[in-house]
Structure 1
Amino acid sequence: MTSPSLFRHRNFTLLFGADVISQVGAQISMLALPLVAVVALHASPLETGLLVAAETAAFLLVGLPAGVWVDRMPRRRVLVAADVARAVLLGSVPVAWWLGVLALPQLYGVALGTGLATVFFDIAYQSYLPSLVERDRLVDGNAKLEIVRSAAGVAGPGAGGWLIQVLTAPVAVLADAVSFLVSALLLRRIDAVERVPERSARRGLAKEIGEGLRYVAGHPILRMIAAATATANFAGGIFAAIEMIFLSRVVGLSAGVIGLLFSVAAAGGLVGAAVVGPLTRRVGSARVIWLSALVFPPFMLLVPLTEPGWKLALFTLGTFMSSIGVVVYNVGQVSFRQAVTPERMLGRMNATMRFVVWGTLPLGGLAGGVLGEFLGARTTVWISAVLGMLFAVPLLLSPLRRMRDLPPAEPADDPAGGPADDPADRTA
């Protein structure tokens, strides 16, 4: 019997709607903030690298304790608070611009603050979905949410490029601030009842962080997924630090054209979200994880060949195919993580994974800034593309390579040595 569509599930639909709104705004901001630094404030490669590092440094600063706190608090409350915090911080950018006081230190502060809020949002978000839908529908739910991100990636940069040209980059950030407020309002309407563990069940911050670390390190596949994703993100951090400078100063493109290129490239994510379900059923839910990491990264070798004229298509093709692979990989590996982890450990597992895999982004951003300063933007893009080719190596060395489909959920005693996942602790 076919299960009813998740869009008939009220709470999932509210989560989906909140994601639609905030993702479009976030895509606009992703284009606008670096362009504020590069175009309006004339930032150097090193300074833009520091901005990228500030955006993601929070995963290194609070990533691990955030997982414990998320497991101790109602996750919906965390999501709403994070959205409101991001709205306030981003809203300060156009205000400072209008007052004539906007400077790089403020952008660094906004990037760091929104990054801190994003740490809590992302950990709570990935830990919240299994509370709203059955675990055998996680691939379907994650695929639908990835469609949102991909569609936002198509619409957001194009709209952002147009807004930046018409209104200037700082004002375009205001659209992102408003989107987070609307997202928070939708999330507040979710009525799933969450059961928070009793205070007496808490075992101390350090001990609970250690449980999350041991769980991931002791799992033969999770630890290799962490290594693979960290490698990809380090290469991606290098690319993100230099991408705007490469396109605007080396290739010589306007903000509108850059936004259009981003939109076309992001359409690959939309394709990935559309095909991940059929592809998973055809090749297997485990096999699709390492295949996506093996097949798609080589296309990024086309990007450093980008030049004005017809060679702009090389950037589009390379990033388009890479986007397909990123979405297919993310749906597969996130669904795996959610499926095999006991619910009481989800926050700490996701925090540990985020600490490892997102912690390499600021390191990559700093490396990209330094490399761009001394070797030039195009050479740095080459280095990023070549490093990205190492993405699949840990996965090919893991037991995942010998599996077709994902295993069932972990048994009662998980690798962290904790007690069984009590059904009473689950969201109703």
Structure 2
Amino acid sequence: MTDRSLRLRRNAGFRRFWAASTISDFGTQIGTVAIGVLVVADLGGTATDVGLVQSAGVAPYLAVGLFAGVLADRVRRKPLLVSTDVGRALVLSCVPLLAVTGTLDVPVLAALMVAFGLLSVLNAAAHQSFLPRLLPRELLPRANARLEQSDAVAQTTGRLLGGGLVAAVGAPLTLLVDAASYAVSGLLTAATPVLDTRPQRASRSVLADLAEGTRWVYRHPTLAPLAIGTHGWFLFNAVISAAYVPYALLELGTGALGLGVTYALAGVGALLGSSASVPLSHRLGIPATIAGSRVLGAGGILVVTAAAGTEGAAAVAIAAAGQFLYGLGLGAGGPIEMAYRQGVTPDRLQGRMNATMRSFNRAAVVVGAPLGGLFADAVGLRPALWLGAAGIGAAGMLLAASGFRTASHDDEAP
């Protein structure tokens, strides 16, 4: 075990933060399966409805995403994380209550997702900016890899568990597990030791701070092409997400449990990818690792489409193999991208940098998810998956040819 690995494991603050993230990751993966099945099976929704519910969850990024970054740079980040976790637990708890009273439908669920998304905007701005306060820069790649590995394990077992829970107790009650995970995450974060001092009182306007964060991202020689390439990935990945659940349930006939199995294999791939991400980036370089991971993910979705025309175990096996490749790419590139972003950005701009990139990423989802659903309903679920795969593959190749090709581990924050 290396000295850096030992230092990471012995850091009490990181251990608590890691545990909180892992538990909420498990709940999120369970909730992802439950929401998809709830829309399609319980509420009789179409691919368009799936896209609308997905876009509702990220729509608040369009309204307050950039301002959330300013807020995260102006207040203590730990209380913001704790309060938004508790709030999300309360919002998700409303779903089974409304289902029992017979008042839950697609528009009501979308409205709840808007409230959930608003809290998630605030949480995300603080969450991605919290790690650099816990750890020195040289530990960030390994720390992000650990977080990505936990998320991958959550995908592997969480979505499988989610499929089993949905089959056993139904989608609305399964969402209570997701709600509980956020409550526990909030408690663990509250107990995390960290130097989280209140920033000095801002001397400039909110708009001035917002503009500074936006300029930092889109005028930076390597962050700018990375940000734009990532926006493209989110746009076409939203098309895939809107089409995949109805494709698996309606066209392949996987059922909720089979859907969970395919998602679980994506988690296995992500776990392997994230485990190899740090050595891979040192061997191939940061640009090749991130760009290559996106092309690999596109290939995985093409394998998923090859399951059309099969049924039963064969359909699940082929879709799971494609999801494995997709997850492998996601796991290999994700930790390196996050560590690079954190490493080249000063602490005072961390919140705004993360919120800026996340806001435009989520804006791409708001556009891509409903359009993907409409495209799938009009042209077909399989062509929608082809379109998404072509888009994320092209985003990876364009990133490799952009100014990001000069990015390296030696780049530092000014």
Q: TM-score, normalised by structure 1?
A: 0.92
Aligned residue for 1:414? none
Counterpart code for 2:30: I
Aligned residue for 1:383? 387
- 2: distance between equivalents of 1:258 and 1:288? 29
Counterpart code for 2:160: G
Matched, 1:93 2:98: no
- 1: distance between equivalents of 2:359 and 2:391? 20
**What is the CA distance between 1:384 and its match in structure 2?**
1.3
**What is the CA distance between 1:75 and its match in structure 2?**
0.6
1:117-128 aligned at under 5 Å gives the runs 117-128=119-130
Change in Cα spacing, 1:260 to 1:296, as seen in structure 2 (3 Å) is closer
Aligned residue for 1:47? 49
Aligned residue for 2:412? 409
Retained in 1: the 8 A contact 2:226–2:404? no
**What is the CA distance between 1:311 and its match in structure 2?**
4.3
1:23-422 aligned at under 5 Å gives the runs 23-199=25-201, 201-306=202-307, 307-309=310-312, 310-403=314-407, 405-411=408-414
Retained in 2: the 8 A contact 1:14–1:186? yes
The range that moved more, 318-327 or 165-174, is: 318-327
SS in 2 for 1:408: coil
**What is the CA distance between 1:48 and its match in structure 2?**
1.6
SS in 1 for 2:321: helix
**What is the CA distance between 1:263 and its match in structure 2?**
0.8
The range that moved more, 369-378 or 11-20, is: 369-378
Retained in 1: the 8 A contact 2:266–2:328? no
- 2: distance between equivalents of 1:295 and 1:163? 31
- 2: distance between equivalents of 1:100 and 1:77? 36
**Percent pairwise identity:** 31
- 2: distance between equivalents of 1:269 and 1:125? 21
The range that moved more, 291-300 or 28-37, is: 291-300
SS in 2 for 1:360: helix
**What is the CA distance between 1:300 and its match in structure 2?**
1.9
Counterpart code for 1:88: L
Unaligned ranges ≥5, structure 2:
none
The range that moved more, 381-390 or 154-163, is: 381-390
**What is the CA distance between 1:314 and its match in structure 2?**
2.8
- 1: distance between equivalents of 2:291 and 2:391? 17
- 1: distance between equivalents of 2:62 and 2:311? 38
**What is the CA distance between 1:7 and its match in structure 2?**
2.1
SS in 2 for 1:337: helix
Aligned residue for 1:417? none
**What is the CA distance between 1:105 and its match in structure 2?**
2.1
Q: Deviations over 1:352-399 (max 9, x none)?
A: 111122210111101111112211212212211222221213322323
Counterpart code for 2:123: F
Aligned residue for 1:424? none
Retained in 2: the 8 A contact 1:225–1:394? no
**What is the CA distance between 1:406 and its match in structure 2?**
2.3
Retained in 2: the 8 A contact 1:74–1:196? yes
* Alignment size in residue pairs: 409
Aligned residue for 1:416? none
SS in 1 for 2:3: coil
Retained in 1: the 8 A contact 2:22–2:150? yes
Counterpart code for 1:23: D
Retained in 1: the 8 A contact 2:162–2:260? yes
Change in Cα spacing, 1:291 to 1:260, as seen in structure 2 (3 Å) is closer
Retained in 1: the 8 A contact 2:133–2:195? no
- 1: distance between equivalents of 2:13 and 2:327? 28
- 1: distance between equivalents of 2:76 and 2:3? 32
Change in Cα spacing, 1:156 to 1:262, as seen in structure 2 (3 Å) is same
Retained in 2: the 8 A contact 1:227–1:394? no
**What is the CA distance between 1:98 and its match in structure 2?**
2.0
**What is the CA distance between 1:286 and its match in structure 2?**
4.5
- 2: distance between equivalents of 1:304 and 1:38? 20
Retained in 1: the 8 A contact 2:267–2:324? yes
- 2: distance between equivalents of 1:252 and 1:290? 33
Retained in 1: the 8 A contact 2:222–2:406? no
Unaligned ranges ≥5, structure 1:
412-428
Retained in 1: the 8 A contact 2:69–2:351? yes
**What is the CA distance between 1:193 and its match in structure 2?**
2.5
